[in-house]
Structure 1
């Protein structure tokens, strides 16, 4: 390898090392929120189901009164 090619290769290697060091020094992004566990999802589903059931019951009563 000629001296010029060696210097060019060394410059590329040094540039790559500088980019690696810069990337390593950057703060890490905060981890994404952990997904809800299955048991939490089941609890939320049941809660929503109860809410919908109660609301539909209320609507049925209102419709029945309006028709009477």
Structure 2
């Protein structure tokens, strides 16, 4: 049973390494302005949500 789990884990690691190697050798994509904008909006929304959670937690004490 442990041998089977080890074999499965090794297989997963090998597949992950294969994906990493594939990405490492792939040509870099040009910067995407829309993606950068979406990323900034997501960061802002995430910070706002964390601040809201902090406020809720501080009011609970």
TM-score, normalised relative to structure 2: 0.49
Q: Identify, as 1 or 2, the structure richer in helix.
A: 2
Which of 1 and 2 has greater Rg? Answer: 1
